[in-house]
């Protein structure tokens, strides 16, 4: 049996559960090494099942045996699960409260009836996913490489007269022509005053002269994501933007310098935040310093002062300090970092900043 | 107060509720005429509130007053809602079971405590959204026009030697250059035997000579979606593909011909399915005939034999029969139809098929 499945099995047994129902597509993909669609995973003491409908059973059988038994859903997933729960004599079954809607939970609970006790579990698979395998790191590395190339490619496009959405279109096209499945999330192209809004939605705004153009983009490769931000200028760099850029860059460097196994994420966050605060701009940096990434663009660990996480070797996350001056502009610099034995490797290190 | 908000207010009052918490982004966008992000809507007898955090309050105040009072979330959304529920003396509060995870429901329920009784409501806003306003129809019309233009543009690109993912990249770019926010869903480009798989994920497969190339694509415009499918050929059209194409086209025409207010969706589905069955291919058409679309790509009504819906004027949905021959090819033809007073208007009618 796969090591990952073994680890989750130990965890649900510790909680006196007979099994666990995994409904998060990312968690299913992780445990099966298989890009999951329209499926559920039932891990139990008496066998591990992959439940899917007739469209996918042939392919699933090919890839998932013998670790998982593929069970074809003919009626509803709930009916299929009811039969299985009787067959496996499940009494206490864990489920992922973050990955079932209330309505789904309600119907499942009614279908299973009183013989099965559904138990809410919290982040069992998500916690395991924080530390990446060599294979996962290679995929993130490649997704990051595509994104680095896309940002290098787009430099010459950033000219007065182009619109934000056109730039996003060129990036998306580049990613698909260069080995990516597509962008990992809605590409942010934020020009001029729009860049001061950390969550700007790419618009049809036309770029003017000597403006900041903030681009936040990632590629997806075999299910794995990257996430990078760079700020470009359509002409000369205004003096204030130069100053702010230097502060953000210094904050990022100070944070990255402290990355190594055993250090708390709060300390990493603090290192960047102090640099920005020293320059009197604490309030202009309103979001977390970074987030884990892998099968999802945002996953654990969160790199924030509120988090109690401690870095481990082979965690992968972003470091992305930003300074946003409403009505003026915003600067954010974001790289993807791998925690190594002794420090942090910037996977996007070849990209200018 | 807006008519839509009035209608929902009547519905929750009929159910003896003091208010309803709307958590679906599409439902919030619908009720507010405002593209919602990171927000909740609380409709209550004593006032209607838009809850969002500091990033969005200035903009929300500008667009939503006086219909909605904008409430800034400072701590968590649950804390904010707790205060409001006390202030408004809410006892029975409806919520959308499909749009809260079990974990969210659980935390909300704990936060509100025993004084508030949370009541699961089903599709109140979704049902209202089935019949579109003139403004909504114009937006879907424009999203459809962009998609029609994208498919016309891509014809010349479909050549042996191009990959599926490159074609998807060109379509995505075209949409963004021509008024769309981007594609409404992951573009499907399925070539050769891949087209036999109704839910193919666009791959790096290179298109060969004389192959079917099925493209399923939609654009997003101001929150509204389109969804069209056409099949192209990279060279000559094989004889069997011609035959199957003619059957699918006839099935689609027969279904569209029957569209008018008062007709059941089951009858529409049956009209198409009978044509395909007469040709001995019933089992090769395994999915529903169509689905409503608007703020979401898939919404009510479902055009299927299992559905009990009856068509009403100003419903908008797809009609998309398909025949899939495993290992060979698949043909699907999909258009967007508006129900008019007397029949159905094909919004994508200008596109060859």
Tell me which residue in A97, A169, A170 faces B101 most closely, judged by beta carbons. Answer: A97
Contact A168 B182 (CB under 8 A): yes
Q: What is the least distance, in Å, from the CA of A262 to any CA of chain B? A: 30
Residue with tokens 């007898």, as numbered in its chain:
B45
Nearest to B76 by CA among B52, B46, B102, B94: B52
Report pLDDT digits (tens) over A132-172: 999 999 999 999 999 999 999 999 999 999 999 999 999 99
Averaged pLDDT, A51-58? 87
* pLDDT confidence of residue B1: 58
What are the chain A neighbours of B166 within 8 Å (beta carbons)? 176-177
In this complex, is the C-beta atom of A334 within 8 Å of any C-beta atom belonging to chain B?
A: no
Kindly report the CATH class assigned to A134-346.
alpha beta
In this complex, is the C-beta atom of B327 within 8 Å of any C-beta atom belonging to chain A?
A: no
Averaged pLDDT, A328-342? 97
Distance of alpha carbon A280 from the chain centroid = 31
Tell me which residue in A95, A103, A179 faces B98 most closely, judged by beta carbons. Answer: A103
Mean pLDDT, chain A, rounded, equals 95
Is pLDDT above 80 for A108? yes
What are the chain A neighbours of B172 within 8 Å (beta carbons)? 169, 172-173, 176, 182
Q: What is the least distance, in Å, from the CA of A126 to any CA of chain B? A: 15
Share of chain A above pLDDT 70, in %: 100
Contact A198 B106 (CB under 8 A): no
Where does chain A have alpha helices with state H?
A: 3-14, 25-32, 57-64, 77-87, 102-112, 124-129, 134-154, 164-177, 239-257, 265-278
In this complex, is the C-beta atom of B186 within 8 Å of any C-beta atom belonging to chain A?
A: yes
Q: Record the tokens describing residue A317, joined without a space.
A: 């996350």
* pLDDT confidence of residue A93: 98
B residues 143..182 contacting A (CB < 8 A):
165-166, 168-170, 172-177, 179, 181-182
Is pLDDT above 70 for A220? yes
Residue B264 is classified by DSSP as B
Contact B186 A186 (CB under 8 A): no
Q: Record the tokens describing residue A129, joined without a space.
A: 């996913």
CB A303 within 8 A of CB A317: yes
Q: What is the least distance, in Å, from the CA of B342 to any CA of chain A? A: 37
Angle at B174 between CA B170 and CA B179, to 5 degrees: 160
B170 Cβ contact partners less than 8 Å away, ≥ 6 residues apart: A173, B153, B154, B157
Give the whole-angstrom CA distance, residue B290 versus residue A166. 32
Model confidence band, residue A306 (pLDDT cutoffs 50, 70, 90): confident
What are the chain A neighbours of B177 within 8 Å (beta carbons)? 165-166, 169
Q: What is the least distance, in Å, from the CA of B262 to any CA of chain A? A: 30
To test the contact with chain B by mutation, choose from A146, A165, A176, A181 the residue with the greatest count of B C-beta atoms within 10 A, namely A176
* pLDDT confidence of residue B303: 97
Tell me which residue in A37, A100, A166 faces B176 most closely, judged by beta carbons. Answer: A166
- Per-10-residue mean pLDDT of chain B, 353 residues long, equals 89 97 97 90 96 87 91 91 96 97 97 96 97 97 98 96 97 97 96 92 96 98 97 95 97 98 97 97 94 97 91 98 95 98 95 89
Residues of chain B with CATH 3.90.230.10: 134-346
Give the residue from chain B lying closest to A98, CA to CA: B103
* pLDDT confidence of residue B36: 77
Report pLDDT digits (tens) over A63-90: 998 899 999 998 899 999 999 999 999 9
Contact A165 B172 (CB under 8 A): no
Give the whole-angstrom CA distance, residue A229 versus residue A187. 10
Q: What is the least distance, in Å, from the CA of B202 to any CA of chain A? A: 8
Is pLDDT above 70 for A217? yes
Contact A172 B177 (CB under 8 A): no
Report pLDDT digits (tens) over B4-25: 999 999 999 999 999 999 999 9
Buried b (16+ CB within 10 A) or exposed e, A71-100: bbbeeebbebbbebbeebebeebbbbbbbb
Tell me which residue in A166, A177, A199 faces B177 most closely, judged by beta carbons. Answer: A166
The secondary element (H helix, E strand) that includes residue A16 is none
Contact B120 A106 (CB under 8 A): yes
B239 Cβ contact partners less than 8 Å away, ≥ 6 residues apart: none
In this complex, is the C-beta atom of B261 within 8 Å of any C-beta atom belonging to chain A?
A: no
* Cis omega (within 30 of 0) for bond into A66: yes
Q: What is the least distance, in Å, from the CA of B153 to any CA of chain A? A: 15
CA contacts within 13 A on the Cβ side of B287: 22
What are the chain A neighbours of B179 within 8 Å (beta carbons)? 204
* pLDDT confidence of residue A209: 96
Contact A175 B181 (CB under 8 A): no
Give the whole-angstrom CA distance, residue B95 versus residue A101. 12
CB A193 within 8 A of CB A227: no
Give the whole-angstrom CA distance, residue B56 versus residue B12. 28
Tell me which residue in B173, B198, B204 faces A169 most closely, judged by beta carbons. Answer: B173
User: Would you tell me how many other CB atoms lie within 10 Å of the CB of residue A23?
Assistant: 21
Q: Record the tokens describing residue B258, joined without a space.
A: 């029957």
Residues of chain A with CATH 3.40.350.10: 3-129
Q: Which CATH superfamily is domain A3-129 in?
A: Creatinase/prolidase N-terminal domain (3.40.350.10)
Is pLDDT above 70 for A1? no
In this complex, is the C-beta atom of B106 within 8 Å of any C-beta atom belonging to chain A?
A: yes
Give the residue from chain B lying closest to A166, CA to CA: B177
């Amino acid at each position: 049996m796969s090591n990952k499945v073994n680890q989750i099995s130990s965890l649900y047994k510790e909680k006196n559960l007979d099994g666990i129902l995994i409904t998060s597509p990312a968690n299913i993909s992780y445990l099966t090494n298989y890009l999951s669609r329209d499926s559920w995973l039932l891990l139990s003491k008496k066998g591990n099942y992959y439940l899917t409908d007739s469209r996918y059973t042939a392919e699933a059988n090919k890839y998932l045996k013998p670790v998982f038994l593929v069970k074809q859903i003919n009626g509803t997933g709930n009916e299929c699960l009811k039969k299985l729960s009787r067959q496996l004599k499940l009494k206490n079954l864990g489920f992922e409260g973050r990955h079932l809607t209330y309505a789904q939970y309600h119907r499942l609970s009614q279908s299973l009836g009183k013989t099965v006790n559904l138990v809410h579990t919290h982040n069992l698979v998500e916690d395991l996913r924080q530390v990446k395998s060599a294979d996962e790191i290679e995929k993130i590395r490649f997704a990051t490489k595509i994104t680095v190339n896309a940002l290098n490619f787009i430099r010459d496009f950033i000219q007065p007269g182009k619109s934000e959405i056109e730039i996003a279109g060129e990036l998306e096209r580049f990613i698909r022509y260069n080995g990516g499945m597509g962008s990992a999330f809605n590409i942010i192209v934020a020009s001029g005053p729009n860049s001061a809004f950390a969550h700007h939605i790419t618009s049809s705004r036309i770029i003017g002269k000597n403006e900041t153009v903030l681009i936040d983009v990632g590629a997806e490769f075999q299910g794995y994501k990257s996430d990078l931000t760079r700020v470009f200028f359509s002409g000369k760099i205004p003096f204030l933007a130069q100053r702010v850029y230097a502060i953000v860059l210094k904050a990022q460097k100070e944070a990255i310098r402290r990355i190594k196994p055993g250090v708390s994420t709060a300390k990493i966050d603090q290192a960047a935040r102090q640099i920005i605060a020293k320059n009197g701009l604490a309030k202009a940096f309103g979001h977390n310093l970074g987030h884990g990434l892998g099968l999802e663009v945002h996953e654990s660990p969160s790199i924030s002062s509120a988090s109690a996480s401690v870095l481990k070797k082979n965690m992968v996350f972003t470091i992305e300090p930003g300074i946003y001056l409403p009505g003026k502009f915003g600067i954010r610099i974001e790289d993807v970092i791998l925690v190594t034995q002794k420090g942090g490797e910037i996977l996007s290190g070849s990209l200018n900043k």
